[in-house]
């Protein structure tokens, strides 16, 4: 006798927001570090309240706007070359580069606290962060090569070894050509199916996925499957879709690729008052332009589009694209990671500046150094204030989440 099973019930499109908000709150309650990652808007509110007036005005350029540890990691370019880059540009704007320094410093300081490192370690982390950033601003002949620390090397090695089947097993649980519905993937509404059929086989998307060097420019692309994707933390509640495409032609046989469609929203990061160039009004176009300035290997693999009349960013997920997950750090590893990642962010900023502008910004930062700590006092003070503000807000968030009924948490 065959047992009758009740098909799983998935939320309707109108029911998604409440469920996703609950999931976002749950993720942010996991740890203080997770809370920092999901509280970008609060970060800028608290920064303005504490030290906003004391932060120097750096040269207006494209900044990440949400430069925490999880938003850096290995990224592959269209030719397959892998490097550590800023990998999430949702908050990118033309703004003050000092904001990226503070955001990364806060993330490193929170990670240090989560690793039970003493307070003096945080002071050394900030010093090493500043040293790495400063190194990237100097003339090419004076720049020191900064090796990746052990935790970053481990992620890089993993990225180099990854192939399509790793991505498929990780993201869609199997290498079969379908997206399995469940906790992470929900079925599409009829309107979403129609829109995905239109967009997934459009010429801009075809050009995007055939841009990868191993594929023919003349290959054809067809839609295999698609689903609503319950993914991320701060992005939960926005439109997010996983799309499976099949690429045929060009002597390569058939290939599958996984595409991420993500809604773009207004950035919380402050914008420069007089930017050297105009930022697009469309949020998706803004993200793509910022990505191409800050992380060309990633930005050149992205396009802006519309999905159900909302701005979205479309990019193919490559096996080598990984998040930098560092849960536990020794004191030495934390300092080396701060110096290395400070240099990565500094290089992303420096490539947008002329030599004279880089030198002027470098001198501004060096002039602000303190006798007590080899880093600008405004940077140290901002990080200390923000650590306290985030810790208080995190504990309050956990209290509210724990006490709220399940359907209202």
39-82 pLDDT, tens digit each? 888 889 888 887 656 899 999 999 999 999 889 999 988 888 89
pLDDT, mean of residues 79-106: 94
The predicted pLDDT at position 1 comes to 41
* pTM (2 d.p.): 0.89
Give Cβ neighbours of residue 185 (< 8 Å, ≥ 6 apart): 172, 179, 227, 228, 229, 230, 242
Residue 7 has pLDDT above 60, yes or no: no
Residue 259 has pLDDT above 80, yes or no: yes
Residue 3 has pLDDT above 50, yes or no: no
The pLDDT confidence band at residue 327, using thresholds 50, 70 and 90, is low
pLDDT, mean of residues 172-180: 70
Residue 173 has pLDDT above 80, yes or no: no
The predicted pLDDT at position 170 comes to 63
pLDDT, mean of residues 305-323: 91
Give Cβ neighbours of residue 344 (< 8 Å, ≥ 6 apart): 72, 84, 85, 86, 132, 136
pLDDT, mean of residues 87-114: 93
For the sheet with 240-248, list strands across it: 185-186, 220-229, 240-248, 254-263, 310-317, 302-307
**CA 303, CA 329: separation in Å to the nearest integer?**
36
Other residues' Cβ atoms within 10 Å of the Cβ of residue 250: 15
Q: Average pLDDT of the chain?
A: 87
Residue 296 has pLDDT above 90, yes or no: yes
The pLDDT confidence band at residue 176, using thresholds 50, 70 and 90, is low
């Amino acid at each position: 006798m065959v047992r009758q099973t009740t098909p799983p019930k998935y939320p309707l499109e109108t029911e998604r927001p409440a469920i996703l908000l609950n999931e976002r709150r749950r993720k942010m309650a996991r740890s203080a570090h997770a809370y920092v990652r999901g509280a970008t808007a609060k970060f800028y509110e608290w920064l303005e309240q504490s030290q906003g007036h004391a932060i120097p005005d750096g040269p207006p350029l494209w900044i990440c706007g949400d430069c925490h540890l999880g938003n850096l990691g290995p990224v592959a370019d269209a030719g397959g070359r892998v490097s550590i880059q800023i990998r999430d540009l949702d908050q990118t704007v033309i703004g003050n580069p000092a904001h990226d320094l503070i955001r990364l410093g806060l993330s490193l300081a929170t990670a240090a606290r989560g690793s039970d490192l003493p307070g003096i370690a945080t002071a050394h982390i900030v010093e090493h962060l500043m040293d790495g950033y400063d190194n990237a601003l100097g003339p090419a002949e004076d720049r020191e090569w900064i090796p990746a620390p052990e935790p970053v090397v481990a992620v890089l090695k993993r990225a180099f070894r990854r192939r399509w089947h790793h991505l498929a097993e990780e993201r869609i649980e199997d290498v079969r050509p379908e997206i399995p519905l469940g906790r992470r993937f929900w079925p599409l509404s009829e309107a979403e199916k129609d829109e995905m059929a239109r967009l997934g086989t459009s010429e801009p998307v075809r050009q995007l996925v055939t841009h990868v060097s191993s594929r023919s420019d003349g290959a054809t692309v067809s839609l295999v499957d698609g689903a609503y994707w319950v993914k991320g933390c701060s992005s939960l509640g926005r439109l997010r879709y996983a799309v499976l495409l099949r690429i045929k032609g060009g002597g390569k046989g058939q290939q599958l690729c996984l595409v991420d469609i993500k809604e773009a929203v207004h950035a919380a990061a402050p914008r420069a008052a007089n930017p050297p160039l105009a930022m697009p009004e469309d949020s998706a176009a803004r993200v793509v332009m910022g990505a191409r300035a800050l992380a060309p290997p990633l930005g050149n693999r992205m396009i802006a589009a519309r999905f159900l009349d909302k701005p979205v960013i479309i990019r193919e997920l490559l096996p080598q694209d990984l998040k930098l997950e560092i849960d536990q750090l020794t004191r030495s590893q934390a300092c080396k990671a701060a110096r290395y990642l400070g240099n990565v962010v500094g290089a992303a900023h420096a490539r947008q500046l002329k030599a004279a502008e880089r030198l002027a910004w470098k001198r501004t930062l060096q002039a602000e150094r303190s006798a007590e700590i080899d880093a600008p006092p405004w940077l140290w003070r901002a990080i200390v204030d923000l650590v306290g503000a985030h810790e208080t807000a995190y504990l309050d968030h956990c209290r509210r989440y724990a006490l709220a009924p399940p359907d209202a948490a």
